[in-house]
Chain A
């Protein structure tokens, strides 16, 4: 399964169901529109608003369910529901506004936050399909995110041990060209575009060095090259797994803000 294949929906049946539900919603909207003028706080507009609220509350239930390993169905089903219902929630919100621009700060905030949450959610879906696929395909080494600095440290120590009795030239080569790149984790945004970015260039010095050392030290250079490649793999892991983790910051806090504003919105409607 190539990386491109990773982007296909895991459960196509759910995609079809969601499409059908969206079509039904739009049809109901058209029917209601023809019968009476559209108002978000009465009739069909209110129904869609309530539906959007219910779905958004359910969306927040997903992280709560995730937290406890209770017997409530597989996490995969919950995530599928979370993603697809999130799309339908945005559609319900748009229909609730009657596809016209909201007036006032509250209305705009709610609409923009809904759109942002859904869009970042879909971006997250894409990231979560794309990045693991390229990581699995393009990298050899696997690592836990939290352990990567320690692992890099181990690699450095291993490399140091290799060159401890080496010739001067090798030692110099190591100190000037190699150790600097090995010493610390070097995350980079370029790895998002290409998992093997910069790899050939990084290995260049080693390939050159091999021609200049004695035969018995060739092995050391090869080992150093292997270590360097592993370090690059760890860098990629650090970058990409970091992206996957930081994406949550983009998605979750606005969703919480949306919930808070939604509570206020409903309060305002009920009281006034």
Chain B
């Protein structure tokens, strides 16, 4: 019998072979998985933070990559306070959304109502060393603003004539003709003769007299001559030397021609120190109020910058003592503001102020300064008359009042130099006032700011208590450097307005001083604008756009000047831009789809020193 092939199983078993365990795979796998998970967790808890990290941090933060507590609070995540430990030390709040709104709208009420955005929302970390936290996507901006270049509004500076006066008399037409004549270039090619590209930057060299104008306007170093002016009105060379005015050493007595009680100069150099000093002096004599006000503004700015500089060390850079000091200072300020608020609410403010004025008056009379005492009495009377709750001052009245009080502070400081810190403080506060704001609002704002800053300091102290050491990397110095630079500039400006206050002159004397100034600065007035006895600030070479930055260099590759500034060669006024506005941007950036990130032109955060 041949063996038949089996279809199916060769035989039947009596009993079923034991089934492999139901959990044979699952248990070991789950246990192994659990063990690995526990190992990673353990590693994390023991300090190897790479295990649970969602990704490396950017290079700037690389020293604190594995120190999660520097930025993260367990169960609460990242908060703005932690970013501000190192960033934004000097003006706590510069990097907030409120500051952005203030920067854009200049309206503190709007700024106060702005939502509090988390830094981490736009600046996303943990994307690796090469990631740049600056790369914020346009979608973020589109949350509040428009979505694309198509809906970008016209430039503010073109919409309203809010552009500040250029302070210079300059007409393109004449200059273009002249350059064309001299160089034989076509009109479109003359632009680059003066507007030269910076070798390492992306925009033009700012127009400066020495680089661009001097070749024609300062023949042999002279811009012109000064007609004779009365010697009594001006200070001569020795006087300048005696006062130690900087730059005087370059002047020689031969340049001065004195005759018949007048002094003239046949040749003047640009920014001649003698002319500038005497203009300053004449100004001080002919417009003492304005001069004082300007000085006071500069002093207030200096005071504000000094204060900011004092606080410019980031919290993470302070040692424990420093932190506690700062905490104590903030606390006292906050308490002070709260107290002031309370007294304001109770209406005791005015009475106390009147009392204090009464004391000052009595002291002055005791010293023998009757005129000052009268002044104080007058103030006291007017303060008593108005009282609290009066209608808010209009802008001009407000500015006038501010100037008055600043001048008063000047006088106080001159009388008693020991009161300088207090005077600086008051100046700073005066300058920070905004017309139309209620005193209570201001105080509340101050108190809240101090409280917030205090909270930051406490947070830092808490971190130190936990043993979290401050990051080792060089803490940000850019803020400090900016502040120092701005402070130096402000001080220099103050130094150039350092004519001491003299007894006020009679109006006709003031008028004569003005005439002298006009004669003195006749050569300057060819280009500069002289108002009163002061040369207006030259703003012509500064960037026009207020809230954006525009770089010419990449555009020069694609277009010539006439594409956007067509017709500028016919302009006779310095104010002209001959610029079409946002439409000309759209022509390329929209229709040709050239990149149009918001970040290319705009900044979110205001600069350190506005």
Interface residues of A (CB under 8 A from B): 34-37, 39, 63, 67, 102-107, 140-144, 146-147, 151, 154-155, 219, 222-223, 226-227, 229-230, 248-249, 252-253, 255-261, 263-265, 267-268, 270-272
Partner of A268, one of B6, B10, B54, B139: B54
Contacts of B40 in A (CB 8 A): 261, 264
* Nearest CB of chain A from residue B152's CB, rounded to whole Å: 19
Partner of A264, one of B17, B52, B68, B137: B52
CA distance A147 to B30 in the complex (A): 29
Is B72's CB within 8 Å of the partner chain A?
Answer: yes
Contacts of B143 in A (CB 8 A): 36
* Nearest CB of chain A from residue B193's CB, rounded to whole Å: 46
Is B239's CB within 8 Å of the partner chain A?
Answer: no
CA distance A37 to B121 in the complex (A): 9
* Nearest CB of chain B from residue A151's CB, rounded to whole Å: 6
Is B77's CB within 8 Å of the partner chain A?
Answer: yes
Which of B4, B8, B33, B140 counts the most chain A CB atoms within 10 A? B33
Which of A63, A67, A104, A107 counts the most chain B CB atoms within 10 A? A104
Is B184's CB within 8 Å of the partner chain A?
Answer: no
Are A37 and B139 in touch, CB under 8 angstroms?
A: yes
Q: A67-B22, A67-B23, A268-B54 are in contact. Are A230 and B137 (CB under 8 A)?
A: no
Contacts of B13 in A (CB 8 A): 144, 147
Kindly identify, within residues 15 to 37 of chain B, every residue whose CB is under 8 Å from any CB belonging to chain A.
17-18, 20, 22-23, 25-26, 28-30, 32-34, 36-37
* Nearest CB of chain A from residue B16's CB, rounded to whole Å: 9
Are A256 and B29 in touch, CB under 8 angstroms?
A: yes
Partner of B33, one of A147, A223, A226, A253: A253
Are A272 and B5 in touch, CB under 8 angstroms?
A: no
Is B75's CB within 8 Å of the partner chain A?
Answer: yes
Is B606's CB within 8 Å of the partner chain A?
Answer: no
Are B2 and A219 in touch, CB under 8 angstroms?
A: yes
Is B55's CB within 8 Å of the partner chain A?
Answer: yes
CA distance A50 to B51 in the complex (A): 21
Partner of A151, one of B10, B34, B53: B10
Of the listed stretches B123-131, B487-495, B527-535, name the one at the interface; the rest are far from the partner chain. B123-131
CA distance A105 to B44 in the complex (A): 13
Partner of B137, one of A37, A102, A257, A263: A37
- Residue in chain A with minimal CB distance to B30: A256
Partner of A104, one of B34, B50, B75: B50
Q: A67-B23, A268-B54 are in contact. Are A103 and B68 (CB under 8 A)?
A: no
Contacts of A219 in B (CB 8 A): 2
Number of interface residues, chain B, beta carbon within 8 A: 49
Which of A103, A141, A252, A270 counts the most chain B CB atoms within 10 A? A103
Are B29 and A146 in touch, CB under 8 angstroms?
A: no
Is B467's CB within 8 Å of the partner chain A?
Answer: no
Is B11's CB within 8 Å of the partner chain A?
Answer: yes
Q: A219-B2, A253-B29 are in contact. Are A105 and B22 (CB under 8 A)?
A: no
Q: A140-B7, A222-B2 are in contact. Are A260 and B50 (CB under 8 A)?
A: no
A interface: dominant SS: helix
CA distance A155 to B13 in the complex (A): 15
Contacts of A222 in B (CB 8 A): 2-3
Pick 19 A–B contacts, CB within 8 A, sort by A.
A36-B140, A39-B124, A103-B56, A105-B51, A106-B51, A142-B9, A147-B17, A151-B11, A223-B3, A226-B2, A226-B5, A252-B26, A255-B29, A256-B26, A256-B30, A256-B34, A257-B33, A259-B30, A264-B37
- Residue in chain A with minimal CB distance to B71: A272
Contacts of B4 in A (CB 8 A): 226
* Nearest CB of chain A from residue B256's CB, rounded to whole Å: 68
Contacts of A107 in B (CB 8 A): 54-55
Is B554's CB within 8 Å of the partner chain A?
Answer: no
Partner of A63, one of B18, B26, B34, B68: B26
Contacts of B137 in A (CB 8 A): 37
CA distance A259 to B52 in the complex (A): 14
Contacts of B394 in A (CB 8 A): none
Are B34 and A260 in touch, CB under 8 angstroms?
A: yes
Contacts of A271 in B (CB 8 A): 74-75
CA distance A249 to B25 in the complex (A): 7
Is B41's CB within 8 Å of the partner chain A?
Answer: yes
CA distance A102 to B50 in the complex (A): 14
CA distance A226 to B1 in the complex (A): 13
- Residue in chain B with minimal CB distance to A151: B10
CA distance A204 to B30 in the complex (A): 50
* Nearest CB of chain A from residue B68's CB, rounded to whole Å: 6
CA distance A224 to B137 in the complex (A): 77
* Nearest CB of chain A from residue B457's CB, rounded to whole Å: 23
* Nearest CB of chain B from residue A226's CB, rounded to whole Å: 5
* Nearest CB of chain A from residue B157's CB, rounded to whole Å: 30
Q: A140-B6, A140-B7 are in contact. List 9 more A-B contacts (CB 8 A).
A: A151-B10, A154-B11, A219-B2, A227-B3, A230-B10, A248-B25, A253-B25, A256-B32, A261-B37
CA distance A34 to B5 in the complex (A): 68
CA distance A217 to B139 in the complex (A): 89
CA distance A35 to B5 in the complex (A): 70
CA distance A260 to B26 in the complex (A): 13
- Residue in chain B with minimal CB distance to A259: B33
Q: A63-B26, A106-B51, A147-B17 are in contact. Are A141 and B9 (CB under 8 A)?
A: yes
Contacts of A253 in B (CB 8 A): 25, 28-29, 32-33
Partner of A37, one of B5, B50, B55, B140: B140
Partner of A103, one of B5, B22, B54: B54
Are B29 and A142 in touch, CB under 8 angstroms?
A: no
Q: A144-B17, A253-B29 are in contact. Are A102 and B10 (CB under 8 A)?
A: no
Kindly identify, within residues 254 to 283 of chain B, every residue whose CB is under 8 Å from any CB belonging to chain A.
none
Are A272 and B32 in touch, CB under 8 angstroms?
A: no
Which of A143, A223, A248, A264 counts the most chain B CB atoms within 10 A? A264
Contacts of A257 in B (CB 8 A): 29, 32-33, 36
Contacts of A104 in B (CB 8 A): 50, 53-56, 126
Are B33 and A260 in touch, CB under 8 angstroms?
A: yes
CA distance A252 to B34 in the complex (A): 13
Are B6 and A264 in touch, CB under 8 angstroms?
A: no
Are B10 and A141 in touch, CB under 8 angstroms?
A: yes
Q: A144-B17, A253-B28 are in contact. Are A103 and B55 (CB under 8 A)?
A: yes
CA distance A263 to B44 in the complex (A): 14
Are A140 and B5 in touch, CB under 8 angstroms?
A: yes
Partner of A35, one of B2, B127, B139: B139
* Nearest CB of chain B from residue A100's CB, rounded to whole Å: 8
Contacts of A249 in B (CB 8 A): 25
Are B9 and A256 in touch, CB under 8 angstroms?
A: no
Return the CB mask of B42-54 against A: 1 if under 8 Å, else 0.
0010000011111
CA distance A98 to B300 in the complex (A): 51
* Nearest CB of chain B from residue A138's CB, rounded to whole Å: 13
* Nearest CB of chain B from residue A135's CB, rounded to whole Å: 13
Are A36 and B3 in touch, CB under 8 angstroms?
A: no
